Amino acid sequence: MTTNDALIARRARTIGPYSPLFYDEPLHFVSGQGVWLTEASGARFLDGYNNVPHVGHANPRVVQALTEQAACLNIHTRYLNERVLDYSEQLLATFAPGLDRVLYGNSGSEANELAIRIARQLTGATGMLVSDYSYHGTTITLAQLTTGLRTREPLAPHVRAIRVPDLDSDPRPAELVLAAALQDVDDAIAELQEAGFGLAASLFDPLFSTEGMARVPEGYVAGLVDRVRHAGGLVIADEVQSGFGRTGSHMWGHAWAGMDPDLVTLGKPMGNGHPMSAVVTSERVLDEFGSRNEFFNTFAGNPVSAAVGQAVLDEMAAEQLMARAERLGTEARSAFDSLATRHDFVSAAKGVGMFLGLEFALDGHPAPELAKQVVEGVKRRGVLISRIGRHESVLKVRPPLAFGHAELPALLGALGEALDEASSTL
Ligand code: PMP
């Protein structure tokens, strides 16, 4: 029995055989530094996939902040503590005026759950508008509006899931695509109102990541937001994947997409692997919610988390990671565009900043098997990527933001070779 087989058997006997593992032959990492991961065998892999270790695996600034604060004090927010205030001021300074209050949680799911709870209370409505291929978390409320991951929870009656348009796979002219997609929004809202649910909120990832980085027509996001507001709903931007400078040009995906939200949910990269999340909103929204609810979350906003959060923001600033993501993202995107022209089976290059992809299609049909083959081929060359989208036919390249110029050739080289290899099998 190989070591991997033994670990897989132990997993089955303890945490169960159902939590998914990446790759035909799973990887067993024992350490990580920056954008490199080391396997038990000693093999090193370039991380082109993980967005949680945002400023790099085992980042020294984060580790130091965490250990120093943990060695001094960790306590909840029912006592005064300066750390959480320092962090909140630093975090809120990255948002536009009007998004100037923050509530903390410990996971993206908690943040989304809280944002929905706030929206329901403020509007008196329960209706939710979501994408028909998205993921927002693990709670019952969220499972009942999740469409992009297999779940036994049916869509709740108060949820309407609309198809987010994608100009890369829709052959119609952009104006037609836009008009049809906004009509879907109107119809979904009208249905929720007729059924008596009203509209509490829309919940979308501004990059439409799970959807496969959908390239929506100009005017779609603004049209969606207008319609939600007109129906009395709040706009929630799920920035668990799109936030913290991922787009390169903007700190927040909603600003990049022109989404203008009432509530923004943060997670994943926020603590570089330390579990923390947040809902950012306005004074008015917080006052309306806070005056009616005693809200307390035991672990959220503790000084260790706050210290970690500060270290992430400090590291981003010190290493100018956003500017780097913008520069590298532009360079990588043009290389992806060239790969798309070189191979007929690559139907589109997708994404922005350090969130990029290639979409695969054969004879006009999505080609998930080909995408899988390329992900495995890239892995054999020592680089980690994955795939997304409703057909899992879009490569997902979303490395830590600490990814540097020196690593780009390794990523592009592995991808180019794996594409050539896939091409030779057709
Ligand atoms: N929203 C989005 C967009 C996500 O990608 C995820 C996690 N994949 C979540 C919410 C849920 O976050 P968590 O797993 O931290 O609860």
Report whether residue 253 contacts ligand 1, using a CB cutoff of 6 Å.
no
CA atoms within 13 A on the CB side of 225: 17
pLDDT tens column, 340-381: 999 999 999 999 999 999 999 999 999 999 999 999 999 999
Report whether residue 106 contacts ligand 1, using a CB cutoff of 6 Å.
no
Q: Tokens for 159?
A: 């949820």
Sequence letter at residue 32: G
For the segment 34-51, the average pLDDT, to the nearest whole number, is 97
Crossing angle of helices 220-230 and 174-194, rounded to 10°: 20
Ordered alpha helix ranges (H), 195-302: 220-230, 253-257, 283-290
Instruction: Answer for the pair 245, 251: CB distance below 8 angstroms, yes or no.
Output: yes
Confidence of residue 92 (pLDDT cuts 50, 70, 90): very high
CA angle 209, 279, 213 (to 5 degrees): 5
Q: Please give the Cα distance from 280 to 111 (Å, whole number).
A: 9
Tell me the CA–centroid distance for residue 351 and ligand 1, in Å. Answer: 19
Min mean pLDDT across 44-53, 56-65, 149-158, 291-300 is at 149-158
- The pLDDT value recorded for residue 19 is 86
Name which residue sits closest to atom 13 of ligand 1, judged by CA.
Answer: 108
Report whether residue 120 contacts ligand 1, using a CB cutoff of 6 Å.
no
Pocket test for ligand 1, best of 114, 268, 277, 297 (most atoms within 8 A of CB): 268
Report whether residue 146 contacts ligand 1, using a CB cutoff of 6 Å.
no
- The pLDDT value recorded for residue 151 is 72
Q: Tokens for 309?
A: 């959060």
pLDDT over 90 (residue 1) = no
Q: Please give the Cα distance from 238 to 216 (Å, whole number).
A: 17
Query: Which atom belonging to ligand 1 lies closest to the Cα atom of 134?
Result: 3
Tell me the CA–centroid distance for residue 154 and ligand 1, in Å. Answer: 19
Report whether residue 240 contacts ligand 1, using a CB cutoff of 6 Å.
yes
Report whether residue 202 contacts ligand 1, using a CB cutoff of 6 Å.
no
Rounded to 5 degrees, what are φ and ψ at 318? -60, -40
Tell me the CA–centroid distance for residue 241 and ligand 1, in Å. Answer: 7
For the segment 31-60, the average pLDDT, to the nearest whole number, is 98
Report whether residue 241 contacts ligand 1, using a CB cutoff of 6 Å.
yes
Query: Which atom belonging to ligand 1 lies closest to the Cα atom of 268?
Result: 15
Report whether residue 133 contacts ligand 1, using a CB cutoff of 6 Å.
no
Instruction: Answer for the pair 290, 114: CB distance below 8 angstroms, yes or no.
Output: no
Query: Which atom belonging to ligand 1 lies closest to the Cα atom of 109?
Result: 16
pLDDT over 90 (residue 217) = yes
Closest by CA position to 168, among listed 354, 379, 391: 391
Report whether residue 107 contacts ligand 1, using a CB cutoff of 6 Å.
yes
CA distances for 247 relative to 30, 179, 239, 328, angstroms: 30, 27, 11, 11
Find all residues with CB under 8 Å of 60, minimum gap 6, and list them. none
- The pLDDT value recorded for residue 2 is 66
Report whether residue 271 contacts ligand 1, using a CB cutoff of 6 Å.
no
Query: Which atom belonging to ligand 1 lies closest to the Cα atom of 138?
Result: 16
Tell me the CA–centroid distance for residue 268 and ligand 1, in Å. Answer: 7
pLDDT tens column, 276-318: 999 999 999 999 999 999 899 999 999 999 999 999 999 999 9
- Average pLDDT for the chain: 96
Confidence of residue 240 (pLDDT cuts 50, 70, 90): very high
For the segment 246-273, the average pLDDT, to the nearest whole number, is 98
Tell me the CA–centroid distance for residue 415 and ligand 1, in Å. Answer: 27
Instruction: Answer for the pair 181, 220: CB distance below 8 angstroms, yes or no.
Output: yes
Tell me the CA–centroid distance for residue 202 and ligand 1, in Å. Answer: 16
Closest by CA position to 154, among listed 162, 145, 163: 145
pLDDT over 80 (residue 50) = yes
Tell me the CA–centroid distance for residue 174 and ligand 1, in Å. Answer: 30
pLDDT tens column, 93-121: 999 999 999 999 999 999 999 999 999 99
126: left (phi > 0), else alpha (psi -120 to 50), else beta?
alpha
Pocket test for ligand 1, best of 112, 134, 136, 355 (most atoms within 8 A of CB): 136
pLDDT tens column, 141-157: 999 998 877 777 889 99
Tell me the CA–centroid distance for residue 253 and ligand 1, in Å. Answer: 15
Name which residue sits closest to atom 1 of ligand 1, judged by CA.
Answer: 136
Report whether residue 137 contacts ligand 1, using a CB cutoff of 6 Å.
yes
- The pLDDT value recorded for residue 280 is 98
